[in-house]
Every structure is written in structure tokens, then in C-alpha cells.
């Protein structure tokens, strides 16, 4: 029993709650499970969740994750935020991801490519609103136990999800790139240090796209990333292999003078397991 309890994910302590403060609107009440990645954007399967610190070599790799028969879930937001603010925009994430997946399959079916980019049209406000909302939700129930405190980093993100289209104009930048992995990663807040520069990063990565938020004009991002300006009508993914070694950024395996600091219960990986 002693060994068993050592080898289960710490995530088990962060999933069960009935009532609490919604991590988007701040209201107190019953909490509702949010699928991250959203339903429709991926094929929902049996998955396990773990803290990412349990996957990247800090502890033994045989840690048992938190199982779910139907996708990775986070019970941290209210019914209204889940259904209106996220549910109303998830369809755009699903549509874009399905289209990009078809384009990617086509791309890798043929050897000769005149160019390495694929393009899709997008409603960037809807797409970003859903993705930012899921990033705010993908964390521990511990955050729902206390009334929300003002945060200059998170408040504009909440205001944007709640409907203010210009809330991020002066506070945040968004980057995205091709993410060619099966495992899903959510990181609500990571401090990433690169060559003397410290930046705050919030990230949600699932095939085929990594979506990252940084403080405005202060971000560190992979060279093959594209910047999303709210109002954009196209997404462009660079599929060239040059970017692969950085596509799991910021968990790509640190290089040179890089390091990061994170709160383990805010950085979660989920991955499909056998049925
Ligand atoms: Zn809410």
C-alpha cells in the first residue's frame, strides 16, 4: 500500500469538488466539468491525466494517472461559462482542427511540396476565446476554493473570455504552431527563462496546434511560431521539419541557458490509454 500510494499521480488530489468559485467569472456555485481539449476538436477516448512534472523526469515514470473514460476534464468553471462562453465558441476550434488535420494528412502523403505552409480560414475571436477559456479552466480545484483575487496577468484573459473583444489589446500576445504529438498539454502559467530573459507563458497544445499566450511584447516563442492577431481571418501552420525540435515548447527539453518554473498542479498532460 505504501508503494502504491507513492506511485499515483498527485493530480488525484486536484479533481473532486462540487461547489466553488468559477475560474472565469468568479461566481460561487456548482462547478461543471470542462473538456480540455474541447469535444469535437479531438477524438474523445479513454485518457489519463498527470502533472507534467511526473512525465519529464523529475519522478519515476510508472506513476499512475487519473483515468477518465471520455476525455480530459477540469471541474473548475460554472455551467454558464462552460456552456455559453466556451461551448458557444468550441465549434470553431473543432472546425479548424478537423480541416487542418485533413490538410496535414494530404501534406505528408506526398513527398514533394512547393511550400511548407498550410492555411485555413478562421474566426480568430471565437477560436481564441475558446482556447483562452480552456487554459483558464485547466488547473486544480484548489483554485476554486478561494474567492478570486485580482491578477494583472489573468484579469484581461477572463474579460476576453467573458466577451470583451479588446481586453487583450494592451496586455497579451498570442502565438501558435504545428504540434505533432498525441499527448495533450495544458499549462496555465509557466515562467520561462531564456538567455537572460524571463517570460510568463500560458499554453494549450493538442494535435494539430499549440496555442500560447504571453505578456505583450515580452514573449519567448519558437522560431516557427506564427502570431495571432485578434481579427485575423487565416491561420498558417509551418509544417517544415525545422521546427519539430521546438514543437513541444516550453517542454521541449531545455537547451543552452534555459530553465522554467511552474506550479505542478497547473501543468497537466493527458494522453490516450488502451480501452
Ligand atoms: Zn463562470
Q: What is the pLDDT of residues 147-182, one digit of tens each?
A: 999 999 999 999 999 999 999 999 999 999 999 999
Q: From ligand 1's centre to the CA of 158, what distance in Å? A: 10
Domain count, the chain: 1
Residues lining ligand 1 (ion), CB within 5 A? 22, 24-25, 78, 81
Q: From ligand 1's centre to the CA of 28, what distance in Å? A: 8
pLDDT at 61: 64
Reading the block at residue 190, the C-alpha cell is: 509557466
Where in the sequence is the domain holding 239, given as residue range(s)?
2-272
Q: From ligand 1's centre to the CA of 154, what distance in Å? A: 14
Q: From ligand 1's centre to the CA of 85, what distance in Å? A: 9
Average pLDDT over the chain reads 91
Q: From ligand 1's centre to the CA of 52, what distance in Å? A: 26
Confidence of residue 255 (pLDDT cuts 50, 70, 90): confident
- Residue 232 has, within 13 A of its CA and on its CB side, a CA count of 18
Q: From ligand 1's centre to the CA of 16, what distance in Å? A: 18
Asked whether the predicted pLDDT for residue 1 surpasses 50, the reply is: no
Task: Identify the DSSP state of 163.
Answer: T
pLDDT at 19: 95
Whole-model pTM: value is 0.94
Q: From ligand 1's centre to the CA of 255, what distance in Å? A: 39
Q: From ligand 1's centre to the CA of 211, what distance in Å? A: 22
Q: How many residues does the chain have?
A: 275
Q: From ligand 1's centre to the CA of 76, what distance in Å? A: 9
Q: Average pLDDT, stretch 175-196?
A: 93
Cα separation, 245 vs 59, in Å, equals 23
Q: From ligand 1's centre to the CA of 175, what distance in Å? A: 26
Q: From ligand 1's centre to the CA of 222, what distance in Å? A: 33
Confidence of residue 98 (pLDDT cuts 50, 70, 90): very high
pLDDT at 173: 98
Please report, for residues 5, 56, 105, 118, 188, the alpha-carbon distance to residue 108 in angstroms, rounded to integers and kept in the order given: 44, 29, 5, 12, 32
pLDDT at 2: 45
Amino acid at each position: 500500500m505504501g508503494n502504491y500510494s507513492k506511485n499515483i499521480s498527485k493530480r488525484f488530489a486536484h479533481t473532486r469538488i462540487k461547489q466553488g468559485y468559477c475560474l472565469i467569472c468568479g461566481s460561487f456555485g456548482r462547478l461543471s466539468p470542462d473538456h480540455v481539449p474541447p469535444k469535437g476538436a479531438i477524438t474523445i477516448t479513454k485518457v489519463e491525466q498527470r502533472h507534467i512534472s511526473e512525465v519529464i523526469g523529475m519522478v519515476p515514470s510508472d506513476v499512475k494517472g487519473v483515468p477518465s473514460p471520455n476525455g480530459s476534464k477540469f471541474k473548475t468553471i460554472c455551467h454558464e461559462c462552460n456552456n455559453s462562453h466556451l461551448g458557444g465558441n468550441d465549434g470553431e476550434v473543432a472546425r479548424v482542427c478537423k480541416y487542418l488535420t485533413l490538410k496535414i494528412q494530404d501534406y505528408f502523403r506526398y513527398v514533394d511540396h512547393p511550400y511548407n505552409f498550410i492555411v485555413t480560414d478562421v474566426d480568430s475571436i471565437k477560436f481564441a476565446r475558446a482556447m483562452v477559456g480552456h487554459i483558464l479552466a485547466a488547473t486544480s480545484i484548489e483554485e476554486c476554493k478561494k474567492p478570486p483575487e485580482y491578477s494583472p496577468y489573468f484579469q484581461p484573459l477572463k474579460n476576453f473570455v467573458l466577451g470583451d473583444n479588446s481586453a487583450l489589446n494592451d496586455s497579451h500576445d498570442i502565438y501558435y504552431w504545428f504540434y505533432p504529438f498525441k499527448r495533450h498539454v495544458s499549462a496555465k502559467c509557466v515562467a520561462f527563462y531564456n538567455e537572460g530573459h524571463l517570460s510568463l507563458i500560458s499554453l494549450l497544445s493538442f494535435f494539430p496546434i499549440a496555442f500560447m499566450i504571453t505578456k505583450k511584447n515580452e514573449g519567448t516563442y519558437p522560431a516557427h511560431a506564427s502570431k495571432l492577431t485578434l481579427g485575423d481571418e487565416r491561420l498558417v501552420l509551418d509544417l517544415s521539419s525545422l521546427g519539430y525540435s521546438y514543437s513541444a515548447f516550453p517542454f521541449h527539453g531545455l537547451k543552452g541557458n534555459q530553465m522554467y518554473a511552474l506550479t505542478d498542479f497547473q501543468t497537466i498532460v493527458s494522453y490516450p490509454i488502451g480501452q
